[in-house]
Amino acid sequence: MSVKKQKRQTDYRTSEKTEIRNCIRQYGKLAGGIAHDLNTILTTIYGYSEMALETLDGTSEAAQDIHKILLAADRARELTGRLMNLSRPAGGDRKTVRVSDIIEETISLIRPSIPHGTEVTVNIASPDILISADPLQLFRAFTNLAVNALQAMEPAGGSLTITLEKVFAGEVNKMNNGEYALIRFADTGQGMDKKTAEKMFDPFFTARSNGNGTGLGLSLVYDIISDLEGDINVSSEVNEGTVIDILIPAETGKFASLP
Amino acid sequence: MAGVMVVEDDPALRGMLREALEKRKYIVITACDGREAIAKFRPSVVDLVITDLLMPEEDGLMVIMKIKEIKPSTRVIAISGGGKAGPGSYLLMASKLGADLVFSKPFLPSELVQKVKEMLDKH
């Protein structure tokens, strides 16, 4: 490939990603506004439900129905919480974090929900690699990717391999010079066709047909990694699985600074 | 009997809070935005103000500052459902400006009414 052609393609890719990111930010603002209004409506629902319960016999059918209304309101509250996450300000509270610690926390969280017949393996080649990030946001991103991979392997099961290694610019991607943490989530799930893979980071896009997906998780991942000046690369084959590579600039010279 | 002012631009939530507080025998004054709240505020009647933060005319932060200026002993509870900066940022600002308590929407109104009682009992 000629240098000029390669540059044109790189420019196109950068411009396309900027457009996607701006799109996510716009959706984020919209999501924040919708969540604000829904939270107000939900408070009214909670209030009148509580007042009705005060006047009813707790064992009556009407009281049981109101409890069901409150359960539905709780589910809606969870949804507005996710919408708020999408509208969160960029950046977060950054500090130096050890990537392997966040991966371990992610595994601890998802371990109870790993289905029978699914194996999760972690390979940490560079345990001391440090990055500058909001640990909570990074944890959210990794958890979203891991849960997404587990769901992609349902119901047959399979294997999810999470690896961490240190790479240098040019080895994996055309990034700025320097060291990067490469975090790879490789699953043997159902995979995606090209059209689905292109849309997977769009807000509100979900490939799940069972109503369990809000389409917000992976767009949040994209936003978090972009804020860290990182990059995401996806390769996927239908019925073979998906490999998602996260690249985040490493903090060099700080390998011994964390306990 | 203690007086409570509810400042909330959403009419349904405003009405619900009024009913919940009147059931506890409080004198309730309502306002649909910050401007109306300041116009209706009577220091001799109102002991506690519950105010939303994001409102079209004069936001809740302005209400907190003006109320505390007019009658510093007024207890203030700020409520917010978020927005561009998320609920935490506005509620944090409200606390810094003098709100005694903050509630992030959605909340259980019974808990809010309980807090109103506790704050006014101490008053």
Handedness of CA B48, A81, A36, A39 (dihedral sign): negative
Residue with the larger pLDDT of the pair B69 and A212: B69
A231 shares a domain with A103: yes
Q: Which residues contact A71 (CB under 8 A, 6 or more apart)?
A: none
Is there a contact between A48 and B83 if contact means CB atoms under 8 Å apart? no
A154 shares a domain with A58: no
A242 shares a domain with A131: yes
* Maximum separation of any 2 CA atoms in chain B, in Å: 39
Q: How many whole angstroms separate alpha carbon A39 and alpha carbon A87?
A: 14
Overall number of domains in chain A: 2
A100 shares a domain with A188: yes
- Helix, strand, coil % over all residues of chain A, rounded to 5: 50, 20, 30
Stated pTM of the model: 0.58
User: Could you tell me if B100 lies within 8 Å of chain A, comparing CB atoms?
Assistant: no
Residue A255 within any structural domain of the chain = no
A56, A86, A116: which is the final residue of a domain?
A86
User: Could you tell me if A55 lies within 8 Å of chain B, comparing CB atoms?
Assistant: no
A109 shares a domain with A229: yes
Residue with the larger pLDDT of the pair A220 and A86: A220
Whether the per-residue pLDDT at A28 is higher than 80: the answer is no
Mean pLDDT of A162-183: 80
Whether the per-residue pLDDT at A89 is higher than 70: the answer is no
Residues of B in contact with A32 (CB under 8 A): 82-84, 86
Whether the per-residue pLDDT at A7 is higher than 60: the answer is no
The boundaries of the domain holding residue A117 are: 95-249
What residues pair up with A158 in beta bridges, in sequence order? A118
Q: How many whole angstroms separate alpha carbon B8 and alpha carbon B67?
A: 15
A39, A55, A86: which is the final residue of a domain?
A86
Instruction: Tell me the shortest Cα–Cα distance from B32 to chain A, in angstroms.
Output: 14
Amino acid (1-letter code) at residue B15: G
A79 shares a domain with A55: yes
With a pLDDT cut of 70, the percent of chain A lying above it is 75
Quick one: pLDDT at residue A206?
A: 62
Residue with the larger pLDDT of the pair A84 and A135: A135
Q: How many whole angstroms separate alpha carbon B15 and alpha carbon B9?
A: 10
Quick one: pLDDT at residue B23?
A: 95
Alpha helices, DSSP H, located in A87-212: 99-110, 135-152, 194-199
Whether the per-residue pLDDT at A135 is higher than 80: the answer is yes
A72 shares a domain with A133: no
Is there a contact between B86 and A80 if contact means CB atoms under 8 Å apart? no
User: Could you tell me if B60 lies within 8 Å of chain A, comparing CB atoms?
Assistant: no
Residue A223 within any structural domain of the chain = yes
Quick one: pLDDT at residue B54?
A: 83
Quick one: pLDDT at residue A12?
A: 46
User: Could you tell me if A84 lies within 8 Å of chain B, comparing CB atoms?
Assistant: yes
The answer to whether domain B3-122 has CATH 3.40.50.2300 is yes
**Cβ–Cβ < 8 Å for A85, A117:** no
The encoded tokens of residue B56 equal 């079209």
Quick one: pLDDT at residue A227?
A: 83
Residue with the larger pLDDT of the pair A218 and A24: A218
A223 shares a domain with A100: yes
Compare all CA atoms of chain B with the CA of A36 and give the residue at the minimum distance. B81
Query: Taking Cα atoms as reference points, which of A215, A214, A181 lies closest to residue A199?
Result: A215
Query: Taking Cα atoms as reference points, which of A229, A153, A226 lies closest to residue A185?
Result: A153
A119 shares a domain with A41: no
A82 shares a domain with A135: no
Q: Which residues contact A9 (CB under 8 A, 6 or more apart)?
A: none
Which run of H or E residues covers position B103?
strand B101-104
Q: Which residue has the tokens 């084959």?
A: A237
Quick one: pLDDT at residue B92?
A: 76
Residue A259 within any structural domain of the chain = no
Residue with the larger pLDDT of the pair A80 and A177: A80
pLDDT tens-digit series, residues A96-116? 999 999 999 899 888 888 888
Quick one: pLDDT at residue A218?
A: 78
Which run of H or E residues covers position A183?
strand A179-187
Mean pLDDT of A209-224: 64
A86, A103, A133: which is the final residue of a domain?
A86
Quick one: pLDDT at residue A155?
A: 87
Q: How many whole angstroms separate alpha carbon A43 and alpha carbon A47?
A: 6
Residues of A in contact with B54 (CB under 8 A): 36
Quick one: pLDDT at residue A52?
A: 96
A235 shares a domain with A216: yes
- ipTM for this model: 0.89
Is there a contact between B13 and A36 if contact means CB atoms under 8 Å apart? no
A146 shares a domain with A42: no
Phi, psi of A203 (to 5 degrees): -60, 140
Q: How many whole angstroms separate alpha carbon A205 and alpha carbon A218?
A: 9
pLDDT tens-digit series, residues A195-210? 787 777 765 556 555 5
pLDDT tens-digit series, residues A31-84? 778 888 899 999 999 999 999 999 999 899 999 999 999 999 998 998 888 777
Query: Taking Cα atoms as reference points, which of A73, A25, A78 lies closest to residue A50?
Result: A73
Low-confidence ranges of chain B (pLDDT < 70): 82-89, 123
Handedness of CA B74, B80, B85, B89 (dihedral sign): positive
Q: How many whole angstroms separate alpha carbon B46 and alpha carbon B25?
A: 14
Residue with the larger pLDDT of the pair B21 and A219: B21
Is there a contact between A43 and B19 if contact means CB atoms under 8 Å apart? no
Residue A239 within any structural domain of the chain = yes
pLDDT tens-digit series, residues B6-33? 999 999 999 999 999 999 999 999 999 9
Peptide bond before residue A155 is cis, with ω within 30 degrees of 0? yes
